[in-house]
Structure 1
């Protein structure tokens, strides 16, 4: 195949050796061929204009492994694919600063030119470590496999872009190069690669676009966050996690950045607390500043709110700003009022929920009607339901069983940490036995399993009651449905699992 596509010109001796070894040796010897060519970097760089497209990936891999900075720089300038997945190489080997800098220098040379070079098709430098993981091994297959993996539409998270064909008519003006990266901002972390990249983006002023699909923010000073996000195209962010212990006022300062993430699909926000020195008027202003940003998030599908102190009595303020149906809603370790749950059950954007989590939300003093209505609204779509540690008691649980039995798509149900009796567990089993897709139920140890009010489990009783539930499943024709108990130890907090034998925390001795 390759001799037919080689240009009819005199090749360098080193390049001819590389071609001969590549053609007749098994794929594992291509690395040796690359090493042979790279013994003289000047010859290797000169040969790039003659090099068939299929040989670029293996030669680039060898050059990266051997830290051939000059060759890497030249190969970036001649890269014949729409995307260069450098991140997966950085994961396999240590992300040597000199290799990364060589790639940036290659971009420097390209972006300094006024017109597009003849062979260059590079549009995306992908620094994500888990993207295109197979690219560097697929090159040994068919030419079509390599090209299909590097189709530009597959590399663009925001919009399709026009790609030059193999036969370019005339000279094309340079388009900006997009650099894709997943960012994790942590206090005290010193990322030399990120610092180099930020500096390069500053220098190129519009010719280098920094795009970030996944963004995680931990405890970092707000000024540092703003400095970095100023360099990022915020409409590229699709997955945002804010795992910070922020005051509500700090969240208000971050809110305008959130509003610019118009393509956001997933948002996780945790540990936002209110300061005792904040006035009610300031508090309302900060909450409004945050919740109004949801009006710009037209593609949001997953929303996770954990330990959010301002949510009680204000959940409707968040829900009414949603612009698209949610597939996942997780509200954990938050205080909610009965009116919050009522608004939730009536929200037009929850009727397509697949995952619902209310773990750690105290429902003890809340009537069952809102939760029952919520289950009825989502009965045709709900797949995973988490009601762990909600303080639900027998009477409330019994009241929602009819609605639960109509959740035809339910696959997983967890309600550990609730004070439920064995009779209610048996009733639950009878109500859910007809749910053909329900495969896993994680239940609390029934009240009859405890030795005392302090929550000490009697493992013998738990084993007997567990065996009773398993027998009921067999008798009802559902032996494959997995029921297992998970209970927090009152002393250390670790969970004791039972399926079918106990997996004990250190505080328990064998029964």
Structure 2
């Protein structure tokens, strides 16, 4: 890995807290980002405290600082962040905002924690996930607000005694007036809801702005309260899951979501909507939901995982003003009419990611799926067909359509009952796709121990024991075929969870 002499020197400086403390007053401002990355790499929280306390720039963006650069190419932002280092950043911001200082005017105005990794990356025992990070940020905001309220109370009580006083220490006044804008992706659940709500209500000098909101296990009313407290402009993505909202809850929230002018992504996962058990009000509720979606003017990504809304895709998507670029319909119970609508809709030729996992495909569903892939072939970069009951025969039928997807970057087809022979056909087609970098495939059915039920279900493929010798041999054959085609850049994997889709909204 390429490392510059400057970065090697930076690691030497941060290796000793005392040395770093003595050196920082003489370090040029342009070297602070390099020192910060070195301190984060080597987990030097005391040095990070000194760097943040003296930060010479108006913005501290964690992800940008940790990304690969010409001094050190490894991208630290792809790893889950160190707990002690992130806490050092937050605690220093709190200290800066609550202590009167004569050490000069503070420059930092924006702490940007958006885009911090929560999944994948190198496993770190000392890492901080999205939930604990959100709580830490909320508690920091509350701490600053609490101290400032105490200062204001003291000042109010002594105001009369200061009527003729002349405040000479202007730097102290400036430090008291300082506000830092904290931008973050927030993960809120039932246990952290009250803390986050109080932080948003505090309206203190540590101003919390949310870019991406993920809310789990919250009632519709609590979710509505949370949304009402967020500042409208920064919010880009809303991810609601395991919330048991039902149609009524969705329709309560959609008018609130329409107030966020930058909202580009709405993900509704496992929220208990199933028209197979509908009531007389279900149809009117669906029409209301469609109208609510239509009011989200900037929507580009829609995830309706486990909303069992067979034959309702046309109703839900036809009211959208803008073509979707990301459509995820996992466990939607898709019908041929749903797929034909999507293939013929304005969305098809703009699709960059399509996830149809968990829908059971058969001969009747293949023609509309082939039509959809044909229409989306130019734009499509990510395609996921995991757990779709795709057999060797069905995969063979799809190969012609897949060949047309020349810009495909990632293809996922795990947990499908495909043999080594069927996978070989798929892999050979994959090698023909010039942009394809990743193929996540199932473990071949002939590599399981004897007794695998036929046809195997999704759960059989997950739980039934695999014969390790057979699997090693089959995977070796697949890799050899890839190498013979000269596609050493193409990664074959059976790992469902260790590869993260690029953030298409930022491209």
Q: Same fold (TM over 0.5)?
A: yes
Where do residues 96-495 of structure 1 align in structure 2 (5 Å cutoff)?
Answer: 97-102=142-147, 125-128=180-183, 182-189=185-192, 191-192=194-195, 194-195=197-198, 197-198=200-201, 200=203, 211-243=209-241, 244-274=243-273, 280-309=279-308, 311-364=309-362, 366-450=364-448, 451-454=450-453, 455-485=464-494
**Which residue does the alignment assign to 1:69?**
98
- Is the Cα–Cα contact under 8 Å of residues 97 and 178 in structure 2 kept in the other structure? no
- Is the Cα–Cα contact under 8 Å of residues 212 and 236 in structure 2 kept in the other structure? yes
Change (3 A) 1:463 1:239: same
- Return 5+ residue gaps in structure 2 as ranges: 1-20, 28-53, 61-88, 115-132, 156-172, 454-463, 498-507
- Is the Cα–Cα contact under 8 Å of residues 367 and 396 in structure 1 kept in the other structure? no
- Post-superposition Cα deviations, 1:404-438, rounded to whole Å, max 9, x if no partner, equal 01211112212111122333323223333221222
Give secondary structure in 1 for the equivalent of 2:483.
helix
Length-normalised TM-score, structure 1: 0.62
- Post-superposition Cα deviations, 1:420-469, rounded to whole Å, max 9, x if no partner, equal 23333232233332212222212223333232233543333332222222
Length-normalised TM-score, structure 2: 0.62
Deviation at 1:84, TM superposition (A): 4.5
Give secondary structure in 1 for the equivalent of 2:405.
coil
- Return 5+ residue gaps in structure 1 as ranges: 1-23, 31-51, 110-117, 130-181, 202-206, 488-494, 496-511
Distance 2:480 2:426 in 1: 15
- Is the Cα–Cα contact under 8 Å of residues 187 and 220 in structure 1 kept in the other structure? yes
Change (3 A) 1:333 1:258: same
- Is the Cα–Cα contact under 8 Å of residues 315 and 343 in structure 1 kept in the other structure? yes
Change (3 A) 1:95 1:404: same
Say if 2:41 is the partner of 1:26: no
Distance 1:476 1:57 in 2: 47
Give secondary structure in 1 for the equivalent of 2:428.
helix
Change (3 A) 1:338 1:65: closer
Change (3 A) 1:124 1:394: farther
Distance 2:319 2:281 in 1: 20
Distance 1:277 1:482 in 2: 40
Change (3 A) 1:340 1:96: closer
Change (3 A) 1:372 1:198: same
Deviation at 1:79, TM superposition (A): 7.0
- Post-superposition Cα deviations, 1:460-487, rounded to whole Å, max 9, x if no partner, equal 3332222222222233222442323459
Higher relative contact order (CA 8 A, sep 6+): 2
Larger radius of gyration: 1
- Post-superposition Cα deviations, 1:355-406, rounded to whole Å, max 9, x if no partner, equal 2111111113533111111111121222221111001122221121111012
Deviation at 1:226, TM superposition (A): 3.1
- Post-superposition Cα deviations, 1:106-130, rounded to whole Å, max 9, x if no partner, equal 9999xxxxxxxx989x99742235x
Deviation at 1:280, TM superposition (A): 3.7
- After superposition, the CA RMSD in angstroms is 4.5
Change (3 A) 1:230 1:95: closer
- Is the Cα–Cα contact under 8 Å of residues 220 and 245 in structure 2 kept in the other structure? no
Change (3 A) 1:75 1:253: farther
Distance 2:212 2:362 in 1: 37
Say if 2:111 is the partner of 1:85: yes
Deviation at 1:28, TM superposition (A): 5.5
Change (3 A) 1:26 1:92: farther
Deviation at 1:242, TM superposition (A): 0.7
Distance 2:149 2:434 in 1: 55
Change (3 A) 1:392 1:199: same
Distance 2:287 2:379 in 1: 31
- Is the Cα–Cα contact under 8 Å of residues 389 and 416 in structure 1 kept in the other structure? yes
Give secondary structure in 2 for the equivalent of 1:85.
strand
- Is the Cα–Cα contact under 8 Å of residues 313 and 338 in structure 2 kept in the other structure? yes
Deviation at 1:210, TM superposition (A): 7.5
How many residue pairs align between the two structures? 375
Give secondary structure in 2 for the equivalent of 1:294.
helix
